[in-house]
Amino acid sequence: MIVILKQNPNESQVAHLKTWLEGKGITVHESVGDSHVILGLVGDTSKLDKDLISALDIVEDVKRVQEPYKNANRKFHAEDTVIHVGNTQIGGGTLTLMAGPCSIETEEQIIGVAKAVKAAGATILRGGAFKPRTSPYAFQGMGADGIELLKLAKKETGLPIITEIMEISQLTLFDDVDIIQVGTRNMQNFNLLRELGRQNKPVMLKRGMSATYEEWLMSAEYIMASGNEKIILCERGIRTFETHTRNTLDIAAIPVLKKLSHFPVIIDPSHATGKSALVESLSMAAVAGGADGIMIEVHNDPEHALCDGPQSIRPEQFAKISAKLCALHGFMKTMED
Amino acid sequence: MIVILKQNPNESQVAHLKTWLEGKGITVHESVGDSHVILGLVGDTSKLDKDLISALDIVEDVKRVQEPYKNANRKFHAEDTVIHVGNTQIGGGTLTLMAGPCSIETEEQIIGVAKAVKAAGATILRGGAFKPRTSPYAFQGMGADGIELLKLAKKETGLPIITEIMEISQLTLFDDVDIIQVGTRNMQNFNLLRELGRQNKPVMLKRGMSATYEEWLMSAEYIMASGNEKIILCERGIRTFETHTRNTLDIAAIPVLKKLSHFPVIIDPSHATGKSALVESLSMAAVAGGADGIMIEVHNDPEHALCDGPQSIRPEQFAKISAKLCALHGFMKTMED
Amino acid sequence: MIVILKQNPNESQVAHLKTWLEGKGITVHESVGDSHVILGLVGDTSKLDKDLISALDIVEDVKRVQEPYKNANRKFHAEDTVIHVGNTQIGGGTLTLMAGPCSIETEEQIIGVAKAVKAAGATILRGGAFKPRTSPYAFQGMGADGIELLKLAKKETGLPIITEIMEISQLTLFDDVDIIQVGTRNMQNFNLLRELGRQNKPVMLKRGMSATYEEWLMSAEYIMASGNEKIILCERGIRTFETHTRNTLDIAAIPVLKKLSHFPVIIDPSHATGKSALVESLSMAAVAGGADGIMIEVHNDPEHALCDGPQSIRPEQFAKISAKLCALHGFMKTMED
Amino acid sequence: MIVILKQNPNESQVAHLKTWLEGKGITVHESVGDSHVILGLVGDTSKLDKDLISALDIVEDVKRVQEPYKNANRKFHAEDTVIHVGNTQIGGGTLTLMAGPCSIETEEQIIGVAKAVKAAGATILRGGAFKPRTSPYAFQGMGADGIELLKLAKKETGLPIITEIMEISQLTLFDDVDIIQVGTRNMQNFNLLRELGRQNKPVMLKRGMSATYEEWLMSAEYIMASGNEKIILCERGIRTFETHTRNTLDIAAIPVLKKLSHFPVIIDPSHATGKSALVESLSMAAVAGGADGIMIEVHNDPEHALCDGPQSIRPEQFAKISAKLCALHGFMKTMED
């Protein structure tokens, strides 16, 4: 960490700062320039509070040299994190295919979709029980009943299940859920993250709508800081000025996150674009770009699909895409260095 | 609401949609163009789920003519909402000055600041007990103890108090808090909003970091939908590409929100810029632009202010700014039409 | 186009508007709702000026149903545009590989790189002669001399060449340049676009840093409106809040633009990320996502590369990536429906 | 400037870099940390090319301590720049009011508006002759004829005139124009900026739609670097996710730019919001926030105003706003420290 002091800083305040830093085990290197004095802080600066130091009257700017996340950092955790659920794994060279409806609606629907996506190659079943909706008047999901139906579908098919949590008090409902999803609006719900860190269960952390990689990894750090290392990152598109697609899929997140951190990276083309016609090409791009898996919305009853988003595709389309993704994943393995 | 159908849509699906809409009390006007059929929906469309309709195979696009919020809408609630707390009010022509430290630290600190800002003209005391921090290693606030100290300061000075809530389970601690603040990261924490709607207590709803006016007002609608009409909106800057300031204060939010909705609008220049040197000019701009009040961070011990942000100003600076703001507010009243 | 009138509009102004529209060959369908009157405009609305109509006192909002671009629109030009240069083509199922240095520096450098990238599979040589630089003190490129060296490299290798133009007066220098590149800062330099529309030479139009697809296609429409149909679109990343990468590559631009328009789409991973380590995986993603080609910065003298950006890769790395891209492109063809 | 080296950098490359820097008159301070070696560069680093240094294999990151602009920098040019045109001045405590139509249409129109805004207190007449339009089919302005009409209005009223230039070849038409405006899309048209630097005439430089303060000041630096110091900055709103207003007025630009640089700052609320109803409150906010002037679109013939944007106001509205702005400006002077 580098601290740039203002011109002609108060000497006793500078001394006070140095003493405070040294009390935290940091060595301070002072370097005097034409216009500014610069302090180079050497030691474990990941736990220093950058804002606290920036706040000082004598400080003009603070710049990090090291990343502020440590447990989530590839530099301190060289090997890939691999998550095991049911008979499958996420990361470690596997291609994970998560599929299922946006909202769980009926037993027939979820079991129908579950069987269809399993037959088509899906390895994990997704389905929404608690739905974050912009409008209080929109359907908010089936809630606890939805989770029960999802568990039935798991029993019926053997597929591990993933569904979204929206607040700490819902945790008791997630005992038989295999992976807990944290949605984009909760990426910085720090109380929820801290609590999920106390669970012994994989968490899939979706990127906040306008979050940077660093903020995203700091949220993963929150979960790890309370003890849970089973984290999956899911890029689901960020907000940009483009309105043709609902969000903009940041494909560079795949190689960047796999370099900065050690977590598996899943891509969600359904939410990233909001358009089913774009799901296939973005999924292919993601697999070629190195993603550990894809999460796709699949509905099974287009005639009555008043509750599925325009991003959902039908099981037969999913089967076709799934086959292509697996073929591409196999081909990519033949080209590894 | 206008529904634009795809070219050559399936006739029976169109009939199905019309029947469904009419069942919801909507009259459908059909207009046949060269390339597209357009359905004009007449009636109370605020409770229709735009996404559901967009999802249909036959639909190309859906455009709203009316706003999706109703209780929050000036069109259906012509008079200004005025919030009464203690001996003061927010809205209705009053200039509200909320002031206090970023974080509550000690009894001396909060009582010292409280007395100072009261003497300088503040009408409401702010102070952070639960602090949302990007890093799990940063100071997270004093929590329940902080609220106790804030209540002491209220007792000592008579100032009503406002502090931030981070999750539903903290609600019991807020009995003697006068205004509950919802922070930027919780603007779309829908479960929290719904619960706050059940309280009989004013809520100050900060704008999400990248939220649109419509999303913000939909979050106010969540609170109103469960019965609480005492809402204050607080613009605290939005994220843009500019990095010199922490956020970008959207000054147009003042006239726009006062036209679209009926709530008081408070401006927070401290968080909007992250720089104390900008607080005065942005506060003056906000008052001249029609804001109902300003929220300013004030700390009282710059020598040891390791816990105050660079956006905080000292009590004597606040006194000077406060005097100018009051004079300007008075001058503005002389120019009203 | 749909025109939503304000409540209780001035009748004579409405009549005036209708007459004006009918004079432009537009049929107007009026539909009276509870709160608003809506005019549906039928006919060729692509040449109506949306802003002009929005400006009227009686108009609340105007929404387009049809796209405002016509020549660039796939709906009116179903077949793919294929660009022929030298012995190669861009679009039509070919994988185009454009490669070369950021800036042309010396004869040895540009000829060395040209030979190396040709041997590695590049089909077009790129090189910067006029460089848009944020700082007036930064190297602005060799200018006319750079174009001369590029032409030497073309002679030596037979590769067609592409380089960027920055103002109309430079056009005379581009006689022997095969493709004229319009950079991100000039995407809305309308005078330049209009002039390029008068040339009989392919133009590669890079996306503006914060441009939407519609704005980008409107810029292509400018070129086509003056008669030049030989347009190539190049996605080079958009500005987002993420700072780890220089820009954010919008991979969805590939399938979206190929659906909305008929132009070939090239991806520039070098500028999109600013990091050479990300070039391979983003190039692979782009080819799997359906791109018609990739543009990659390659430099040949890392020891003295004070003038190449951190996004450049060396010829031997390019050769490896090029081989993978060609293999992937071949594999993708085997999976076409 | 601080250069952070990669771990275990090649020693001879480091030596090479140091020699190169010292050859440019820079002193290099080396500071060895736990994980990284940091070079502190002392001297005039404003002319160093940050990208060139970042590009080196041995460099992990480069951070500036000093701003990259020098002539535009308040630190090296303490006194305010004041621009004199006709009998008025911009900056130096004056409130400048620029007013006039979006587009010049007829002699009657521009002379009518000119007289009306002069009577209402405007000090400078604006009017568009060359109009940058997103669509090639939209009205592009009267061009040279428009400038002639504007000059007639200047003759008639004595008001200095400002109008926008779009390319270098138009410069000959600007002989009798008092201030040349550079529009948002040309803020980084570096060739145009360099040429304007060679003129002895004030230039009003509008902020690019997504530009940072630093990029904006670097564009001013381009103009100054070729010798022209008569620069006015105009904040006209930046692109954000908000769609209710056309752009988002960045009010903080006023105090920030006046601190970082020495130029007068003008606010354009008409383009910033695209809504005439917001012009008054944003103008008041701007004056209270310290702006040196306001630029407002005024049209005089609402009945036929098919060519004025929804942001235009009528002369009688302008007169009312102008009176309030002048009163507020006077009041603000009474409160200066």
Residues of chain D with pLDDT > 70, as a percent, come to 96
Q: Which of D169, D218, D308 sits opposite C135 (nearest CB)?
A: D218
What backbone torsions phi and psi does residue C278 show, to the nearest 5 degrees? -100, -10
Residue in chain C lying closest to B247 (CA): C241
Mean pLDDT, chain A, rounded, equals 92
* pLDDT, average across residues A203-226: 97
pLDDT at B9 over 90: no
Residue of chain C whose Cα is closest to the Cα of A242: C212
How far, in Å, CA of C261 to CA of C271, rounded? 23
Is residue D150 within 8 A of residue D129, CB to CB? The reply is: yes
Gap between the Cα atoms of A277 and A300, Å rounded: 16
Pairing, β A27-32 against β A37-42: antiparallel
Q: Which helix (H) or strand (E) holds D265?
A: strand D265-267
Min Cα separation A28/chain D (Å): 9
- Residue D101 CB neighbours (<10 A): 27
pLDDT band at residue A182 under the 50/70/90 scheme? very high
The residue behind tokens 């012994």 is A200
Q: Are strands C96-100 and C124-126 parallel, antiparallel or unpaired?
A: parallel
Contacting residues for C173 by C-beta, under 8 A, at least 6 apart: C144, C147
- How many CB pairs below 8 Å do chains A and D form together? 42
| The pLDDT value given to residue A6 | 85
3-state secondary structure of B4: strand
Q: What is the pLDDT of residue A69?
A: 93
Distance CA A3, CA A61 (A): 6
Q: How far is CA C117 from CA C107, C284, C304, C318, C327, in A?
A: 15, 18, 19, 7, 17
CB contact under 8 A, D285 and B286: yes
**DSSP secondary structure string, A153-195?**
HHHHH---EEEEE-SGGGGGGGTT-SEEEE-GGGTT-HHHHHH
Q: What is the largest CA-CA distance in chain D?
A: 75
pLDDT for position C138: 86
The answer, for B123 touching chain D at a CB cutoff of 8 Å, is no
CA–CA min distance B144, chain D (Å): 36
State yes or no: pLDDT of B309 exceeds 70.
Answer: no
Tell me: pLDDT of D246 over 50. Answer: yes
DSSP B42: E
> What's the mean per-residue pLDDT of chain B?
92
Distance CA A94, CA A82 (A): 9
Is residue D302 pLDDT above 70, yes or no? no
According to the model, what pLDDT value does residue D167 have?
Answer: 95
Separation between Cα atoms, residue A225 and residue C48, nearest integer Å: 58
Angle among Cα D250, D254, D258 to the nearest 5 degrees reads 145
Distance CA C67, CA B60 (A): 13
Least confident window among B224-238, C9-23, C131-145, D283-297: C9-23
Q: Tell me which chain D residue has its CA closest to the CA of residue C61.
A: D310
Question: What is the Cα–Cα distance from C273 to A254, expressed in whole angstroms?
Answer: 13
> In 10 A of CB B173, how many CB atoms?
18
Nearest CA-CA partner of C93 in C226, C280, C292: C292
What count of Cα atoms within 13 Å lies in the side-chain half-sphere of residue B12?
Answer: 2
Mark which residues 51-80 of B lie under 8 Å from A by CB: 51-52, 54-57, 68
Q: Tens digit of pLDDT for each residue in C306-323?
A: 444 566 789 999 999 999
B172–chain D nearest CA distance, Å = 36
Q: Which of A311, A303, A288 is nearest to A99 (CA)?
A: A311
Q: Which two tokens stand for residue C139?
A: 């190297």
Chain A residues touching residue D35 (CB < 8 angstroms): 65-66
Name the burial class of residue C50, with classes exposed (0-12), middle (13-18) and buried (19+) by CB atoms within 10 angstroms of its CB. Answer: middle
**Residue A281: other Cβ atoms inside 10 A:** 23
Between B104-118, B122-136, B301-315, D92-106, the lowest mean confidence (pLDDT) is in B301-315
Contact B30, B11 (CB under 8 A): no
Nearest CA in chain D to B330: D331
CB-based contact B250:B292 (threshold 8 Å):
no
Q: Is A249 on the interface with C (CB under 8 A)?
A: yes
Residue A31 has pLDDT above 80, yes or no: no
Q: What whole-number percentage of chain C has pLDDT above 70?
A: 96
- DSSP lists the bridge partners of residue C89 as C84
- Which amino acid makes up residue C7? Q
Count of CB atoms situated within 10 Å of the CB of C23: 8
Query: Which of the residues D257, D258, D281, D333 would you substitute to probe the B interface, choosing the one with the greatest number of B C-beta atoms within 10 Å?
Result: D281
SS3 B82: coil
Instruction: Determine whether the interchain pair B242/D273 forms a contact, defined as Cβ–Cβ distance below 8 Å.
Output: no
Query: Nearest-CA neighbor of B216 among B234, B198, B197?
Result: B234
Nearest residue of chain D to residue B238 (CA atoms): D240
pLDDT 10s digits, D176-230: 999 999 999 999 999 999 999 999 999 999 999 999 999 999 999 999 999 999 9
* Predicted pLDDT at D309: 57
H helices of B35-143, in order, are 50-54, 107-119
Query: Is a pLDDT exceeding 60 seen at residue D308?
Result: no
Taking CB atoms and an 8 Å cutoff, what residues of chain C touch B66? 35-36
How large a percentage of chain B has pLDDT more than 70?
96
Q: Which helix (H) or strand (E) holds B182?
A: strand B179-182
Q: Which chains touch C (3 or more CB pairs under 8 A)?
A: A, B, D
Within 8 A of D210 by CB-CB distance, chain C residues are 209-210, 239
The pair of three-digit structure tokens given for residue B284, joined into one six-digit string: 């003056």
Partner D contacted by B242 (CB < 8 A): yes
Chain B partners (3+ C-beta pairs within 8 A) = A, C, D
**B88-138 pLDDT, tens digit each:** 999 999 999 999 999 999 999 999 999 999 999 999 999 999 999 999 988
Is the CB of D281 less than 8 angstroms away from the CB of B259? no
Residues 6+ apart with CB under 8 A from D336: none
Task: Identify residue A215 by its one-letter amino acid code.
Answer: E
Give residue for tokens 């919030």. Answer: B83
Looking at the DSSP bridge assignments, the partners of residue B30 are B39
Q: Count CB atoms within 10 A of the CB of residue B94.
A: 16
State whether B166 and A191 contact (CB < 8 Å): yes
Phi-psi bin for C97: left (phi > 0), alpha (psi -120 to 50), beta? beta
* Whether C133 contacts chain D with CB within 8 A: yes
Q: What pLDDT shows up at residue B310?
A: 63
Q: A40-54, B205-219, B293-307, D48-62: which has the minimum mean pLDDT?
A: B293-307
Helices then strands, each counted (H, E), chain A: 10, 14
Decide if B108 touches A, using CB distance below 8 A. Answer: no
- Per-residue pLDDT, averaged over A125-140, amounts to 93
Looking at residue A324, what is its pLDDT? 98
| Distance of alpha carbon C164 from the chain centroid | 12
DSSP for C83-105? EEETTEEESTT--EEEEE-SB--
Q: Rounded to the nearest 5°, which phi and psi values hold at C105?
A: -120, -45
Radius of gyration from C-alpha coordinates of chain C: 23
For residue C60, what are the CA distances in angstroms to A87, B66, C38, D310? 58, 11, 10, 10
| pLDDT < 50 regions, chain C | 303, 306-308
Measured between CB atoms, does B215 come within 8 Å of chain A? yes
Q: State how far the Cα of B287 lies from the Cα of B264, in Å rounded to an integer.
A: 13
Provide the pLDDT for residue A206. Answer: 98
Give me the pLDDT at residue C307, please.
47
According to DSSP, the residues that pair with B295 across neighbouring strands are B98
Calpha distance B27→B24 (Å, rounded): 9
Q: How far apart are CA B40 and CA B46, in angstroms?
A: 14
pLDDT greater than 90 at residue D8: no
CA distance C240 to C244: 10
